[in-house]
Amino acid sequence: MLAREHGSSSTFTVYPAIDVLGGRVVRLEQGARGCVTVEGGDPLVAASRFRDDGAAWLHLVDLDGAFSGTPSLDLVAGVAAAGLPVQVGGGLRDVGAIQAALDAGAARALVGTAALDPAFLRSAAGRFGPRLVVAVDVRDGFVAIEGWTRTSSVSAAELAAACREAGVQRLLVTSTRRDGTLAGPDLALLELVLGAGLPVVAAGGISSLDDLRAVRELGCEGAVAGSAIWRGRFTLADVASLER
């Protein structure tokens, strides 16, 4: 299993990433639509392969939904059918879309752009509880929105604090400058957001088992591994052998 013990009472989970654009698995550098660095084929095949390799969770990014604002519910249902819990993001910008993704089979729904609306944030946190995850996507210290095509004036620390006050139970923190680059995680950003006191899953730049150990030791409860797995930097079997 890829859920590893961290300390005495919590687990560290590695989430293999399935990013989908135009019906195919891709990896994008820094989230740029025109910068495809990996073409990984059928997302349903990938989900089944990760399941067979021992994954505990899947991290699904609906890039078409992120860019268009309309989630791809058939994609969610298909990946969830592999039999693993799935956390999904991309285009989930209102309560109806979140509920639809959960109804389609997702275990957790990721919201990014919509989380900047305080009223929405309180409502969604109250309604969905632990099934809601706020994606804190950060570019140069500020939150990136609308499929990372724009940068807001809200800082990562401000959004994390707002999430805590609204009752959000988990954050996914991505350094957009490092996403898809294999440049290593932004430990300073992760430490900053961990200061809000919420569980954090790290994303962006993970390139090695040492990077996974570093974010675990920092206090993150998990990490998303995308390009590192797709480019063969490590396997899910390697992850399962991480020392506690």
CA atoms within 13 A on the CB side of 155: 8
Catalytic residue from among 62, 64, 137, 186: 137
Q: Judge whether 19 counts as a catalytic residue.
A: yes
The span from the CA of 221 to the CA of 160, in Å, is 16
Catalytic residue from among 19, 64, 179, 186: 19
By the 8 A CB rule, do 175 and 205 touch? yes
By the 8 A CB rule, do 129 and 180 touch? no
88 Cβ partners below 8 Å, 6+ apart? Answer: 60, 61, 62, 71, 76, 79, 101, 106, 108, 109, 110
Q: Catalytic residues, which ones?
A: 19, 137
